[in-house]
Amino acid sequence: MLEVEIRTPLYDEEAGQVKWRVLALVRADGDDLTIYRQDESEVISTEMPVIDAATGSRVTAEEDPERWVRNLPDAYRSGDLVAIVLTDTDAPAPTERPEDAATSAPRIPAPPQPAAMVFS
């Protein structure tokens, strides 16, 4: 199961700080997708495709709801609306580097040698 909250920042002048207002909660569990909205506004639409950060391909809510929800934080990153992952029970494993890249130091090439200059 995956839960993502769509929020917007509001500046509280009395407190002198930013508070977050929750606009929607998106829940995906396998092929089931549920969106809970605070009001009737369309802050999120299942018609909107997102880009999968791992593959670079477009994902729609209809094709793969869980992968679509997992990539919402990358789609909502402008600051006016922000997507925050609350729960991810099946998070993908981080990609691992090959063994030789993890243990060997980077190779720094030798500096170029100046060409001999002859003046007559």
What are the sequence ranges of the domains in the chain?
A: 2-88
Contact 37, 13 (CB under 8 A): no
As a whole number, the mean pLDDT across the chain is: 85
Q: Which of 80, 86, 79, 14 is nearest to 70 (CA)?
A: 86
Whether the per-residue pLDDT at 104 is higher than 80: the answer is no
How long is the chain? 120
What is the predicted pLDDT for the residue at 91?
80
Q: Which of 64, 90, 86, 59 is nearest to 75 (CA)?
A: 59
Q: Is the pTM of this model over 0.95?
A: no
Q: How far apart are CA 69 and CA 61, in angstroms?
A: 8
Residue 65 token pair:
């709801």
- Structural Rg of the chain based on CA atoms: 23
